[in-house]
Amino acid sequence: MISTILNIDKDQGITSTNVDKQVKKITGAKKIGHVGTLDPLATGVLPVFMGQATRLINFMNDKTKEYQCDFELGLRSDTYDLEGEITKVQNKVFVSLEVLNSVISSFIGNSFQIPPKYSSVKYKGKRSYNLVRKGIEFSLEPKSIYIEDIKIIETNIPFVSLVVKCHEGVYIRSLINDIGEKLKCGAVLTKLRRIRSGIFSIDSAISIQHSTNDHWKMHTIPIDYLINHLPKLNTSNDEKYKLITGQTTNIKYSEIKLPDQALVRCYDNENTFIGIAKYDETNDIFLPHKMFLQVTK
């Protein structure tokens, strides 16, 4: 069974789910999933997990995301981007660079953001975009977000380009809409590219077009790459057997002092990743937490 990760550079115009389907068809993977859904308009980093790798998705330690985005002032959209119904607010936008900088900088740090109604956010168990399309009136609650940094990389009013570094949960469409509202002239997202998602960057991403004819095999990422932040534990054959068969083992770990309930990534004597174990400080033993290797003694 295929168990690996591909860092896909998503093309514009397709959904993240369709990327999963295409990767599944190309690789023959039985189980597949991605981290961090991108809108159809957006391009860039979309990590796709196959087989056993899907069991490690929740172990992503670094959830910081980085985006390059373009927007146009003087417009509004019901979807906050070019896919919605566009209305012109101002024929000519008069915004100084000083004011623009001040407004954009005000969004750095902790704040609350209302997600776009045209999104997969759920309202009373229903996807909000489905409710909008049915003409149902509703209001989404503001969500706590954190934006680490925003840099203006180009301005030619009404056109502005930014790089946004943020934690998960931030909607760049909503950010651009909020910037436009604060400037009192409106703003619409015109281009969005994710250049980093946690440990995955655009530099190592490959397009679907370059994944055919087994070319994807040259770009696979080992599943334990995702948990490199965990301490490493080497095991003997007997210790490995105990862990993968659900037994505890009292391996002596001398690298660092482990706190109680610490997770470690385990390897056999051939340096093959076998899974994740949890340390029980009281009894000085390791318990199997999430095992991936299935072998006989």
Give the separation between CA 224 and CA 186, rounded to whole angstroms. 45
**CB-count exposure of residue 125 (10 Å: 0-12, 13-18, 19+):** exposed
Residue pair 249/288 in contact by the 8 Å Cβ criterion: no
**CB-count exposure of residue 25 (10 Å: 0-12, 13-18, 19+):** exposed
Give the separation between CA 21 and CA 130, rounded to whole angstroms. 22
Of the candidates 9, 11, 20, 39, the residue annotated as catalytic is: 39
Number of C-beta neighbours around residue 22 at 10 A: 18
Computed on alpha carbons and rounded to an integer, the radius of gyration of the chain in Å comes to 23
- For this structure, is 70 an active site residue? no
| Paired strand residues for 280 | 285
Residues serving a catalytic function are 39
